Amino acid sequence: MKLLNYIQTILIGIYRLLQGMYITMLNFIRPKVTEQYPENRGKVFPHERMRGALTMPHNEDNQHKCTACSICMMNCPNGTIQVITKQEVDETTGKEKKVLDRYLYDIGSCTFCAICTLSCPQNAIEWSIDFEHAVFTRAKLNLQLNKEGSSLIKKEKITKE
């Protein structure tokens, strides 16, 4: 009985080997569908829901929606986002309030998990479909998302782009 079981195991092994070789040969003779990336750069567009790079949209007056609440920075699992704030005096009330000074984003350590965009109460940050991030130095992967001199978008000026 042991000899019969031994022969049966060998035949099953040979059958599985032939199955694998059959699949390999099918893939070997199929036509190739490799995209020649640099040559067809303008022909292929990524999916609209792709997470390429984090952006902070600004309107035509160079204003953004970020209120510097730092929720995105607290929820980032690896410290990719840094929200640096400063205190300014509000002209209407005369009280000091916290405003965004710099919004720093390290795309080199980002895991593209989208927790930051999902947790932002103002929807101030969003993903672009820009996926080409090859640079020669790591320092170029550190981006400042808010433009210089930009401030908060007033509630009546919010427009959907």
Domain residue spans of the chain: 53-153
What residue type is 29 in one-letter code?
A: I
pTM: 0.67
- CATH of 53-153 given 1.10.1040.10, 3.20.20.120, 3.30.70.3270, 3.30.470.10: 3.30.70.3270
Q: Is the pLDDT of residue 38 over 90?
A: no
Q: Is the pLDDT of residue 149 over 90?
A: no
- The predicted structure's pLDDT at residue 150: 55
Q: Is the pLDDT of residue 91 over 90?
A: no
Residues 6 or more apart from 133 whose CB is under 8 A from it?
53, 107, 108, 141
- The predicted structure's pLDDT at residue 153: 45
Strands (E) located in 48-106:
53-55, 63-64, 81-89, 96-106
The residue-averaged pLDDT of 98-115 equals 92
